[in-house]
Structure 1
Amino acid sequence: MESTVEAKKLLASLAVTGLDNIYTVNLPKEMQDNTDKTVALITDVSTQLSDFGNDTFYSREDLIELQIFHKLKPRYSLSEFEKEILKGFFSAHWSITEIKAKTYDPDTQQLSWAIYLKKQKEL
């Protein structure tokens, strides 16, 4: 959970043009069908222990998923939007482990995008 909060603070500090709200864990009910705002959802994926030695471990790697749900008819460049996010996390020493292709939701007609980010923390 700590990494999701850290990622939320970082994403908020980037002030990405077009991003309206950032959530962790789940989307509130009122946002699940909302297509008027671009929102981010940050969730935990996994935690791995690392840097083993002397019968113990010295760090952990937290993997999170960042999903973006674009509003209908965005007035911002999707490529610039993505670049701002990727560069922001990279500059903050997060590893970008996977970038998924944008997908189209036939029910809401929204585009969504997901990336997986990893942060190593010394213990």
Structure 2
Amino acid sequence: MWEGRYKSQALLDQAAVLSCMAYVDLNPIRANIADTLEDSDFTSIQERIAHFKAFTADVMKANKPLKQKDNIQHESQPAQLKPFGGNDIKHTIPFALLDYIELVDWSGRHIDPKKKG
């Protein structure tokens, strides 16, 4: 019975990895445990959003311009999570952080249009 329910699935490309990440990040939304991505406790999306908001707030306080590429800098993302970085930065997920947040948000709304997350 255990084997029939839980199976391993190889994630063979970046699209599969992103799909799996989004699926896991949306679990609290689908389970009605959270209404928004920011409220989804113990998910990487919650941590990424909080860290990015803190980073942008610090940049604004310092009166520095927030450049387009700042969303892929390591300092704008949690150190314990593999960072997003686009195709041209080694050892990162080849996708922009803001694009991933938008993908997860869109996917959550697509699953149930009445949901906020």
TM-score using structure 1 length: 0.28
What TM-score does the superposition give when structure 2 sets the normalisation length? 0.29
Greater helix fraction, Structure 1 or Structure 2: 2
User: Which gives a bigger RCO, structure 1 or 2 (Cα 8 Å, sep 6+)?
Assistant: 1
Bigger fraction of residues in strand: 1
